[in-house]
Structures are given as C-alpha cells and as structure tokens.
Chain A
C-alpha cells in the first residue's frame, strides 16, 4: 500500500477526527452516548453506511449532475441506511431499541454527507473506501469513549459491567443532555490541547474553500477576506 493511501485511512482517526476536529455529527454524538455499547452500535452502523455510500457516490461522481448532487447523495445514503436499519432490527434488536430514532437519522448525519461532498465526489473508489473507513473508525472511537465516560460517571458501569456502582451513587446528570454537552466539550478541549502541543493546525480544507453552501453564502465575500488574511 502506498503511503498516500494509508494517510487517507488514518486521516479520520485523530488529525481530522469527524467529531472532535471537524465537529460534525454532533447530534448522534450527544444523543446516543449514554452507554458505551450504544456508542459502538451507532459508530459501526454509521461506518457501514459511510463506506458503502462513499463507494457508490465515488463510482457515480461523473454521472451525477452538479446541481442535484445533494438530493442524489441523500438518496444513495438513505438506501444504505434502510439496509442497515433492517439488519440491526433483525439481528440486534436491543441496539435498535437503544438507538431509537437516531438509527434512521443516520440519513442526515453530516459526517456521511460531508464525506460524500468533500471527498467521495472528488476521488476515486479506493481512496473513498479508505476515507470512509477511517472517518468511521474515528467516529466510532469517540462515541465509544464518550459513552464509556458517561456510563461510568452516570451509572457506575462500563459496557454494562458494574465498576463503581456498588460504592457510590453515580451522578445521573452525566446521562442527561447537560452531561453529554459537558463531556463533549471536555473531549474537544482535550483534543485541541493535544493538537496544539503537537504543533498541528486545524485541517486546511475546512473553511470557505470547501464549504458546501459557498455558492449561496451571504458572507462569502467577508469570509474570503479572512482566509486571505491568514
């Protein structure tokens, strides 16, 4: 494997981690991470959809007209989400109950749409697969970590196994939305601190250049000034 290909994969782990660095997919991140197992379930489901949709969109990238690309992407993604949802319902009903509405909502998960828009529609199939896989692993890792932290502090268990629940009563607030925001904020802060220590800047292809709504953005001119200043 060429070195370039490997970097497509590892990009999503830390450097461009979709949740902590790109701050995408915040809704499922906050909503389902009340337990570590839910984090894994959500992460794996999204990864499967992401890899599959990246493949199809990359194959169709020269066929899809530019003007209707977003509906086309969503249609492709929705197809795979339906498949995943049926599979989860059939084989992992407990995960299906735990994730609830957030499983079908993978359709509008911004990580998947963002990778379709920013990567798969511009690159060939193999890099797209690797990119989807890397992003998916990054997403799953953060969701599992967050789920584990919230489960430990909020219920005294990790993966359903009792850790501290016998000695002290857990802080239920960590299972509620405020606790989710708190843990999320701390993790983002920690990842920023680590990135700063390693001297890495926030990824360059964020910002106006690659913004999907650049064409209709009313602040586009202002934004370009800012980019020029840098």
Chain B
C-alpha cells in the first residue's frame, strides 16, 4: 500500500523503450541487408561497415571527452549512424574516406548542432552527400557483386532498361551501394520496425508510392525506379529518423510525398547520381515548417 501512495512528480508511467532499445531495433532491422551486402561484395564490405561504425563511435566519444559532456555512446545512435553511412557507400570507397564521412556525420552534422535530437538533417545522409561532393570519382564507382576483379558496373538506375530482371532486382543480385541492393531484406527490416512500433509506415508508403505513381505517369520503368537505387533504404531507414521527420501524421504524409516528388524530379531531370539523398536532405530542412503548419489545435481554441 505504501508504494501505491507515494507522492512524486510526473511522469508516473514510463514506457520501457529507451533510446538504446530503439536504436537496437534499428540495428537489428538493418542487419539482414547489411549482412547480405557483405556476402555480395566480400571482405571489403565488412571492413567498410566496421570502419564506419568504429570511427563514428570514436568521434562521438572523443567529442564528449573534449567538451566534458556525459558520454553518449551507450545510446547506440552513433552505431546506427555509422552503419547507415556504410550501407550508403559503394564497396569501392577507400576506408579512409568512409572514416572522414563518419567524422563529418557525428561531429559536424550531429554534435555541432547539439547532439542527438538536435541535428537539422540526417547525419548519415549529409555525410554521404559531403563525400559525394568531395570525392565524386571514388563515390560513383560500383563493383559488380562477388566478381571482385570486375572494376565498375552501373547501378540499375543507370543501366539501360530491361538488363536486370525483376527477381535479381528485388533480391539484390546487382551492383550498387552496400546496403541498398536487396529491396526484399530492407522491406523485412521495415516491417519489423513497424511491428515493433519503432516507426510508423506513413513516410515510407507515401515516399515510395509517390515515386511509383510519378514514374507510372511519366511512362518510366516503375519496377526499376522503386526497387533500384537507394529508394528502399532511404524511405524506410533514413526518412523516418525521429529528429528530422515531422511529428504529426499529416506532416508525415506531406514529408513523404515531398521526398517522392523531389526524388522523381532529380532522377528524371537532373544530372545527379542519386535523387533520394538530396530529396531527403531538402525535406529534412523543411521539417520545422511542416511541423508548424500541421500542428494539432487544442480542443476549443479559437484561431
């Protein structure tokens, strides 16, 4: 009885979820696609993932030490950032470049703006763009799966239509970034996150749906547009980042559709190699305005 009557300040009920448990779920959801990438691209892929994760965690640790802040590597967010970055890189990228990317993601994009929950864009995505702009040659070389001696191959989006069958595309037997090849495994990860209630499916559905619809209207190859390139990885794991996506359901719909339109426009009309990254970054920047525009009105309040 004494326990029940204890007087304390709110919150009185706590959900067992913590940052670490959510990040753990994300890592678990990413791992099938990551492991598949390692099988597909060999030892270099393993090294790349290890480099990204270790340098991201190290960067976070060193920053906290230097600024005498409480250590935050235990919340696993740096691990997720490193893993996401690695999955967005081609296996042809040198390890030191990947390490620079991790440092940019953690120090410049995340910690300089206030750490977890304050980054204005997705750190892994921004780091990928920084690498892409800095080392355009190295970042756009893609190895053909397993046949390690073959130097370059275009990703399915660049390839002439029809060269890759739907089956190969869906299960990921083609060139591309480490973790983006297998739409099937990424979808499994996404479904897991939705079931665990880590993410809501609104943003991925709107994002992918918009791209599919627009490419259908424009007469493009819908299957290649949806299952090729970084769309699955971006829509499920990058666009749903808590800090950089809208909080309201209506906002999430706007965000997803906006990402879809931008991706389509960039893929169709621009000379850039990857539309998804830029689309997500641009929409990330708009999130505060979307949040403001779609804010819930308290009941009974007059405008």
What residues make up the interface of A, taking CB atoms closer than 8 Å to B? 168-174, 176, 178, 182
Contact = CB atoms under 8 A, between A and B. Distances in A.
B136 interface: yes
B134 A172 contact: yes
19 contacts: A168-B96, A169-B135, A169-B137, A169-B138, A171-B100, A171-B130, A171-B134, A171-B135, A172-B133, A172-B134, A172-B135, A172-B136, A173-B130, A173-B133, A173-B134, A174-B134, A176-B133, A178-B130, A178-B133
Contacts of B100: 171
Q: Which of B133, B136, B137, B138 has the most CB of A within 10 A?
A: B133
B104 to A, nearest CB: 9
Contacts of B134: 170-174
Interface in B58-115: 96, 100, 108
Interface string B123-137: 000000010011111
A171 B137 CA distance: 11
A172 B134 CA distance: 4
> Interface of chain B, helix or strand or loop or mixed?
helix
A64 to B, nearest CB: 45
Q: Which of B96, B130, B136, B137 has the most CB of A within 10 A?
A: B130
A173 B128 CA distance: 12
A178 B109 CA distance: 13
A173 B132 CA distance: 9
Q: Which of B96, B130, B133, B134 has the most CB of A within 10 A?
A: B134
A87 to B, nearest CB: 37
Nearest to B133: A173
Q: List the 5 closest A-B pairs by CB distance, nearest first.
A: A171-B134, A173-B134, A173-B133, A172-B134, A173-B130
B145 to A, nearest CB: 26
A190 B100 CA distance: 22
Q: Which of A169, A170, A174 has the most CB of B within 10 A?
A: A169
Contacts of A182: 108
Contacts of A174: 134
A168 B100 CA distance: 12
A99 to B, nearest CB: 24
Contacts of A178: 130, 133
Contacts of A176: 133
A196 to B, nearest CB: 15
A178 B129 CA distance: 11
Contacts of A170: 134
